[in-house]
Structure 1
Amino acid sequence: MKKSALLFCAVLLLGVRATNAEDAKIKGYMFGDYYAVLAADDGETKLPEKRNAFQFRRIYFTYDKKMADDFSVRYRLEAKNAGFGKGTKMEPFVKHGYLKWKGALGSADLYLGLSGTPTWAISEKIWGYRSIAKTVLDWNKIGSSADLGAAFKGKAGKIGYHVMVGNGPGQGPEDDHGKKVYGSFSFTASERLLLEAYGDFNMKPAGQNELTLKGFAGLQGEGVNVGVEVFSRTNKEAAAGFDITISGVSAFASLPLSDSLKGFGRVDAVSNDATDTTDLLFIAGVDHRPAKGVHLMPNLVVALPDGPDPNIQGRLTFYYKF
């Protein structure tokens, strides 16, 4: 409680100052749902059948401040749902906190501090529905959306790049002597087509290193978004000295149905060679925008694990930003 109070006071202080400060902006967005589990396996404990609730899944509050012509800072708080039946309230934590040096190395911008990783930055943007579901790597807890370290990000002609060295645990504190190296290189093949090659290497103790490789192709234009993402994650000497490989593919699309309505869908397939299983995920819904920055999205999420019965959720998701 004491930590939350301090963070809340800091937010208020920033808000008061920002309203009178030049080159300062406050913004944020929120999303959540009313969800109901329509079907589940008898052994399911996390999302059993008939469970239903209103929930805020994420709330973000962002403060951006330009310090000089080439320097700016970002401070972002995130709060998320504690989970059904938990006795704790939503508590904010620092999502981003970094200094940006524009053009620090030629066309590359330097980010120092807790900044976004390139792991799913491009695919999440083209997917466009983080409020509905995380991207396939994020959903399967392969990587983190932010890390504490240093990053260079920029573009040279049709080539985009985002390279980073960080601690590895994301927003958490460092827990070993190794570091995690990230690299994303994208190519704008046409006005609509974007291709990306991505990899990261996490140096872990006792040779238990983690290697992630990913390819992504995204198509955008006239309100239509299409993407295909393929990945492989190898955990060295993870179980009884043996390597474990997790691989998968995700395909998604969204398209306009009218001026204020879009339809979207996604299919994921993820295999784990340690358990010799392949899990499937299906998502479908419509996105109604009654006003700018406001979205109401009825959707269906069907998880098909390899073995147990399907888990089917019906949801009404809401999203709004300010």
Structure 2
Amino acid sequence: MKLKNLLSGLLILTAALSTTAQEKAEFKPSGKASGKVFFNYHYDMTNGTKKESSFEIQRAYFGYKYHISKDFTASVTFDVGQNEGGSDYTAYLKKAQLDWKMSPVVKLSLGMIGLEQFSDQESFWGYRYIMKSFNDQYGFGSSADLGIKANIKITDKLYANAFVINGEGYKKIQDEDGKQKIGADLVFKNKGLIAKFYADANTTTVVDNGGNEKDVTVSALAAFVGYKFCDHFKMGAEYNKLINGSKYSKAADNHDLDGLSVYSTYIVNKKVEVFGRYDYLNSNKLDGETEKWNLSKNGSAITTGVQYAPAKGVKMALNYQGFMHKDTSIEDKSLLFVNFEFKF
């Protein structure tokens, strides 16, 4: 009996000490600033080019993330990039997002939110400072938009994301129709494997050549599979399709785009990587036309190079980028790049 009472007393004392420790380790709000810059020098070897070489800053990101409580986090990011309609460098509000961890399996995000259409592909590709992922590069979707999304953990290996957004991207305000884009994706992760399927739809009112209004639904589909075979080699492939749009934000009845992207990386060591990527972009023929509507931009892209990371937060890569046009009347592009990414 004495032993039983002693054990009971120890359990009560342990629980009390644990509660006191938890109370002392109360959550303290905290924040952190961040920045990232994409810089490059390139030499254009394309026949007939006038601007042979140039230094560029393609992007500069500045952000701040603040942990309000255990369940709420706020973040703001500004994107400084080139703008054809104004100055060479214009600051955009890229993200103004509130994350609410509603439960261990559901997180809600609202405001100017980061989107999931190509986030996994971009992360697996791993060289955003050199080239955007396929969907972003060819206008199949935007990386951020105004709206709300829910990330749901179905199992330890299966995740879902559903969203409602304006549909115009983070550089434009809501259009006059006031119609939203809806979409969802499923992501499966298991050890070295990642598989993803994505779909969205956005109905927009357009005016045809006769002046008549018509509702057209722009849809994007994406399927992606990536696999890390070992500590030194990984490979990914994705297929993407855009239906009834010349761009994700520009409805065009019966104008479709589709394409394939395949990429791989060989990791030599912690500082050196060798990478390669192949893209293929295609479009359909319109009724009564002999050529595909996007022929001048259809073709294949090749990117290959070597990355060196001398320190944490610094990356540099010597790489070749080429584009072979389907339209033989257009000169194929051929460029040599030295890209840098530095962040804090």
Same fold flag (TM > 0.5) = yes
Please give the per-residue CA displacement for 1:78-116, whole angstroms capped at 9, x wherever unaligned. Answer: 101346xx9824222110001110125x61100010111
Q: Distance in 2 between matches of 1:76 and 1:69?
A: 21
Please give the per-residue CA displacement for 1:182-233, whole angstroms capped at 9, x wherever unaligned. Answer: 2110112x30011101001012112221011111001134143311000111
2:266 alignment partner in structure 1: 255
Offset at residue 50 of structure 1 (A)? 4.2
2:12 alignment partner in structure 1: none
Structure 1 consecutive aligned stretches of length 4 or more whose deviation exceeds 4 Å:
236-242
Q: Which residue identity lines up with residue 250 of structure 1 in the other structure?
A: S
Greater Cα shift, 115-124 or 86-95: 86-95
Greater Cα shift, 48-57 or 195-204: 48-57
Question: How does 1:207-226 map onto structure 2 within 5 Å?
Answer: 207-220=215-228, 221-226=230-235
Question: How does 1:89-238 map onto structure 2 within 5 Å?
Answer: 89-103=88-102, 107-157=105-155, 158-171=157-170, 172-175=172-175, 176-188=177-189, 190-205=190-205, 206-220=214-228, 221-235=230-244
The alignment of Structure 1 onto Structure 2 pairs a total of residues equal to 292
SS of 1:122's equivalent in the other structure is helix
Q: Is the 8 A contact 2:265 2:276 kept in 1?
A: yes
Q: Distance in 1 between matches of 2:252 and 2:124?
A: 38
Structure-2 change in CA distance of 1:237 and 1:246 (3 Å): closer
1:59 alignment partner in structure 2: 60
SS of 1:267's equivalent in the other structure is strand
Task: Give the % identical residues.
Answer: 25
Question: How does 1:236-275 map onto structure 2 within 5 Å?
Answer: 242-274=253-285, 275=291
Q: Which residue identity lines up with residue 302 of structure 1 in the other structure?
A: G
Q: Distance in 2 between matches of 1:35 and 1:183?
A: 38
2:33 alignment partner in structure 1: 26
Q: Distance in 2 between matches of 1:292 and 1:71?
A: 29
Please give the per-residue CA displacement for 1:8-42, whole angstroms capped at 9, x wherever unaligned. Answer: xxxxxxxxxxxxx94101112111100111114x5
SS of 1:170's equivalent in the other structure is coil
Greater Cα shift, 273-282 or 58-67: 273-282
2:323 alignment partner in structure 1: 303
**TM value normalised by structure 2:** 0.80
Q: Is the 8 A contact 2:29 2:69 kept in 1?
A: no
SS of 1:138's equivalent in the other structure is helix
Q: Distance in 2 between matches of 1:34 and 1:56?
A: 9
Q: Is the 8 A contact 1:237 1:243 kept in 2?
A: no
Q: Which residue identity lines up with residue 161 of structure 1 in the other structure?
A: A
Structure with the greater alpha carbon radius of gyration: 2
Please give the per-residue CA displacement for 1:233-284, whole angstroms capped at 9, x wherever unaligned. Answer: 1117999985122111000001112342100110001111134344100000
Offset at residue 65 of structure 1 (A)? 0.5
Q: Is the 8 A contact 1:78 1:94 kept in 2?
A: yes
Q: Which residue identity lines up with residue 255 of structure 1 in the other structure?
A: Y
1:316 aligns with 2:338: yes
Greater Cα shift, 284-293 or 272-281: 272-281
SS of 1:123's equivalent in the other structure is helix
Please give the per-residue CA displacement for 1:121-175, whole angstroms capped at 9, x wherever unaligned. Answer: 1100100111110111111111111010000013222111111100000111100
**TM value normalised by structure 1:** 0.85
Structure-2 change in CA distance of 1:137 and 1:185 (3 Å): same
Structure-2 change in CA distance of 1:103 and 1:222 (3 Å): farther
Question: How does 1:270-285 map onto structure 2 within 5 Å?
Answer: 270-274=281-285, 275-276=291-292, 277=295, 278-285=298-305
Q: Distance in 2 between matches of 1:242 and 1:199?
A: 18
Q: Is the 8 A contact 2:216 2:253 kept in 1?
A: no
Offset at residue 72 of structure 1 (A)? 1.0
SS of 2:337's equivalent in the other structure is strand
Structure-2 change in CA distance of 1:304 and 1:119 (3 Å): same
Q: Which residue identity lines up with residue 88 of structure 1 in the other structure?
A: S
Structure-2 change in CA distance of 1:258 and 1:240 (3 Å): closer
SS of 2:275's equivalent in the other structure is strand
Q: Is the 8 A contact 1:118 1:162 kept in 2?
A: yes
Q: Which runs of 5+ in 1 are unaligned?
A: 1-20, 43-47
1:6 alignment partner in structure 2: none
Q: Distance in 2 between matches of 1:150 and 1:53?
A: 40
Greater Cα shift, 219-228 or 150-159: 219-228
Q: Is the 8 A contact 1:36 1:51 kept in 2?
A: yes
SS of 1:258's equivalent in the other structure is coil
